[in-house]
Amino acid sequence: MYAILDIETTGGKFNEEGVTEIAIYRHDGHKVTDQFISLVNPERAIQPFVERLTGINSLMLKNAPKFFEIAKRIIEITTDCMVVAHNADFDYRILRTEFKRLGYLFERNSICTVAFSQELIPEMESYKLGNLVKALGIPINDRHRAQGDALATVKLFELLLDKDENKEILKSQINALHVQKVPSKYLDILELLPNETGVYYMHNEVGKIIYIGKSKNIKHRVRNHLTVSNKKALKIQSNLHRVNHEITGSELIALLKEQHEIKKNQPTFNRDGRYRIYPVGIRIDIKKVYHNLELEQIRNDREYVMAFKNGNFAKKVLMESIKAFKLCQNHSSLKTSEKSCNEYKNGDCNGACLAVESATEYNQRIADFVKQKDYPHDDFLMIGKGRKEGEYSFVYIQCQVFKGYGYFELNFQINTLNKLTKRMISIENNSDCKALVMSFISKKKYRKLIPLNKEEFEK
C-alpha cells in the first residue's frame, strides 16, 4: 500500500515550519482506496512569498483544525503504507516534525517520485512537478495547493508503476519491510537528523570529532553507519556519542566543506581524506627552457593545472593532452628517450625534443593547454541550490582562485564585492577545491554561472 501525499507549509527556518494544508491518497498499486484532504491551522505566521505562491493566507486558516486534531486520521490512512511524494524528503520531514511536537514518533518508509522519474523517464528537461507532469500530458489543477499537487503525483506514480519493468518500486517496498533495524540507543540521534544535503560531524563521549562526512540525505547516510558491520563502522559505533550536522542545500558546498573540515580537524576515522581527495596532479615546470608537464604527488607549495584521485587515470589524461596539443613526451614526466620522442616519430610532436621547434612556439601551446584547464572566467559566481525555498547558494572564484561560498535570497545582496564578501564563508583554496568546482562545471551541475566585470563589480 502507498500513501501518496502533498503538504503545503508556512515556510520559514528549518524544522520551524508548520503545515497549512495536507492531501493524502491511499493507493493499493492499482487505484485510490481512501483519501484525506484538509486545511490546517499552523498556529504560526505564513511567509509572504509562500502566501503568494499558494494563495493560502492566515484568514483562510483561522477556523481550520490544528494539526493535533487531524493527527489520528493521518496515522490511520498511512498505516502499513510507503509514503510517496514528489521530493519525499521534504514532506516526510515536515510530518515527522509535526508529530514530534506532539511527542509522537512518526516513522514510515518513503518513495520519492523525483528520483524514480529521473531513473525511469530520463532526459526530461525538468523534474519539477509542474513542468514534469505538463511534459507527460498529466493534467494538474490548483498548482501549489495540496490536493492539486497530490492528485498529479498520483497520476505520475501510476505512470511510473507502468514503466517500472524491473519492478524497482516494488523491490524498494519489499526491502523497506526487511531493512536492518537501528540499535535503540541510536534512535534519539537519528531523530534529530534531517533528510537533507549537508555535512555531518560524529563526536565521541568527550566531544572530539571522530568522523566527518557529507551526504545528499544526512539521516540516511548516518543510518548506514549505524547498521552496517564492517570494521570501520563498528569502531565508529563503539565510539559514537552524538552527531551534529550543517545543511548546505548544495552538494558542491557539502563536498567543499567536507574536505576543508577533514583537513582542519583530522578526525580519527577519516584517514583517506586527511590530506587530499585528489592526491595526484599535473603541473608546469617553467624553469626549463621548454616548459615541462610534470605528473606527481601534489605538494602544498606548488600550483597544479589538474588534480586526480587516481594515478593511472592522471597518466592517461596527460598522454591524451600531449597528443591533443602536439606537445613533446620528452618534455614531460613520461620521458622515454634522450633523443626524439615517440610522438615525433608519429607526427604528433613538432620536434621540441630535437630543438626543431622553438621554445617560444612550444611554450605557447603549453599555455594553451593550461588555459583550457582554467576556470571558464577569471572572476565569476556559480549559483546553485540553497537550503530552503527562495534561497540560492553561490561559490565565488576571484582571479582564477576559489574564495568561498555563501547564500542569498535577493540579487542585490551580492551585486557588489563588499556585499558579497560580507555574506561569504571563506574556505582555504587548494587543489581539491579546484577539482571539485571544475567537476561540477564540466557536468553542468549548477543553476547558472555569472561572469563578473572586476572594475564594475568592485565599485
Give tens-digit pLDDT for 161-216: 888 777 777 666 655 554 556 677 787 788 788 888 999 999 998 889 999 999 99
Q: Is the pLDDT reported for residue 455 higher than 80?
A: no
AA identity, residue 35: Q
Q: What angle do CA 14, 19, 23 make, to 5 degrees?
A: 130
Is the backbone of residue 189 left (phi > 0), alpha (psi -120 to 50) or beta? alpha
Read off the pLDDT of residues 11-32 as tens digits, 9 standing for 90 and up.
988 778 999 999 999 998 888 9
Q: What is the pLDDT of residues 91-126, one digit of tens each?
A: 999 999 999 999 998 988 888 999 889 888 888 889
pLDDT of residue 168: 74
Q: Of 259, 435, 362, 305, which is closest to residue 296 (Cα–Cα)?
A: 305
**Cell 529521473, located at residue:** 118
Average pLDDT over residues 426-443: 90
Average pLDDT (438-448) is 92
Contact in structure between 387 and 249 (CB atoms under 8 Å): yes
Q: Is 8 within 8 Å of 23 (Cβ atoms)?
A: no
Q: What residues have CB less than 8 Å from 415, skipping those under 6 apart?
A: none
pTM of the prediction?
A: 0.58
What number is the average pLDDT over the span 232-249? 92
Q: Which residues pair with 30 in a beta bridge?
A: none
pLDDT surpassing 80 at residue 3: yes
- Render pLDDT for 295-343 as a digit per residue (tens, 0 to 9): 998 887 888 888 888 888 889 989 889 888 989 988 998 887 777 887 7
What is the predicted pLDDT for the residue at 69? 94
C-alpha triplet 100, 246, 210: angle, nearest 5°: 105
Instruction: State mean pLDDT over 44-48.
Output: 91
Nearest in space to 403 (alpha carbons), one of 420, 386, 419:
420
Q: What is the pLDDT of residue 339?
A: 78
